[in-house]
Structure 1
């Protein structure tokens, strides 16, 4: 999830925010960088938690049993396609998701309007129509759940705009998060259970690398600023 490229980006983003300001404190900058690096896992959990939160939203806001008219078989099936989705239920049962849900850094229930718009996007998709034409079973549940997550990260404008608004680092974290989701899917395909991916192979080394980049900048700060002044006149 966290790689060297992402670490460099986060350091440069922090330095860009500090550039030109007087009385900047390197210790504060470093603290912000480390907080941002460690926050990638929470952002991944926010995305992974969308499935269970979508299920909860549909169950509480669009339950066909609560309609004034008699629900059709398609109404009931489309409801079960997500609320009774075996893969989404297994995601919800992950210890990491249960702990995250107690104190979410991103609360989907506060974004019901966006969740509803994404739900409508899903229902208009070809993948939804295909899923509705198939039997509801574990294999087809998994295929549709994969589509939901990939749609979020690759196609949903509503989701993209919301994440960019909530997380200024979203553009750079998006691909690592997508790759982590693919690891989740692969573990489920191969083992029949969800393996939560590691945020980092070595968190201590990642944080040390970030600190070294920052220190290297501080050591050559005057030279760097002179170069910037020369090559960016005015």
Structure 2
């Protein structure tokens, strides 16, 4: 499921896009934001289904080899350990994945099956695959360990696949690392003899509402927050402050004032970490300094009111 950190990133991107395009259609931009989050689930499911499609490809290769006129002993009696992998078979039998693919018409691996072959070729030439086929142990534990390694070492870092995802949907560029982590967690949690069931996109209704509330309140209060920031940075002209930094500070102020259950220090730390990935090398220090000043003033003026102990 999507976490608060990635929700903040998606909101940041939407606020930035609005600023760059000078578009003030809040409703349309919010719809696009929510759509981009929903499409993350497509990417998650496609990655899981890719494991199944590579296994199917391997099965077809074995079937064709058996039909050779001059079939070798290896062709006639192939090692079927990969196509018998219990975890991948569990994913292949998942009703929730099958239903999601059908309802959302996700037929990417049928239309663009060359990527299935790319991953298959990388797999069968790897030491990981050779060692897996060579071991005599047959257990769900071993199968799961292999699938996790297969995903982490071959699928996740594949540049051609990443380029394909980026060409399919531009917003997936920043989602790929998060989705890869999500897939690994899902595979790791899977239990033997249990059906594979897709989880929810959001942890709960609060997280879903957090998307809209953070986005709307940040956009609607931008001018007001701009003044607060300018007052705390007298030695900086507004146009000298990195655009992403300005947006992250405004989002943090939104959280200070409008989300009483989120501790102030948690908010500051979250935006410092996001700035390390999306802004300049010195942004984290700048953001920390500005937010520290603003939070102390807001607490003194009772603009920040948190619910519960230890939330300030």
TM-score (norm 2): 0.63
Distance 1:171 1:71, change over 3 A: farther
Gaps of 5+ in 2: 231-236, 244-312
Runs (4 or more) in structure 1 with deviation over 4 Å come to: 223-228
Matches within 5 A, 1:2-151: 2-60=2-60, 63=63, 64-73=65-74, 77-78=78-79, 80-102=80-102, 103-105=104-106, 107-135=108-136, 137-139=138-140, 140-151=142-153
Report the equivalent of 1:179. 181
Matched, 1:229 2:242: no
Choose 1 or 2 for highest CA Rg.
2
Q: Deviations over 1:70-95 (max 9, x none)?
A: 044278535x2333322211101112
Q: Would you say the 8 A contact 2:82–2:133 is kept in 1?
A: no
Distance 1:68 1:74, change over 3 A: closer
Q: Would you say the 8 A contact 1:118–1:158 is kept in 2?
A: no
Greater RCO structure (CA 8 Å; 6+ sep): 1
Q: How many residues align?
A: 230
Matches within 5 A, 1:192-231: 192-193=193-194, 194=196, 196-202=198-204, 204-222=205-223, 224=226, 229-231=239-241
Distance 1:17 1:84, change over 3 A: same
Q: Would you say the 8 A contact 1:48–1:91 is kept in 2?
A: yes
Taking only aligned residues, the RMSD between alpha carbons, in angstroms, comes to 3.0
Secondary structure, counterpart of 1:70 in structure 2? coil
Secondary structure, counterpart of 1:131 in structure 2? helix
Q: Would you say the 8 A contact 2:148–2:188 is kept in 1?
A: no
TM-score (norm 1): 0.81
Report the equivalent of 2:170. 168
Q: Deviations over 1:53-77 (max 9, x none)?
A: 1222333456322334304427853
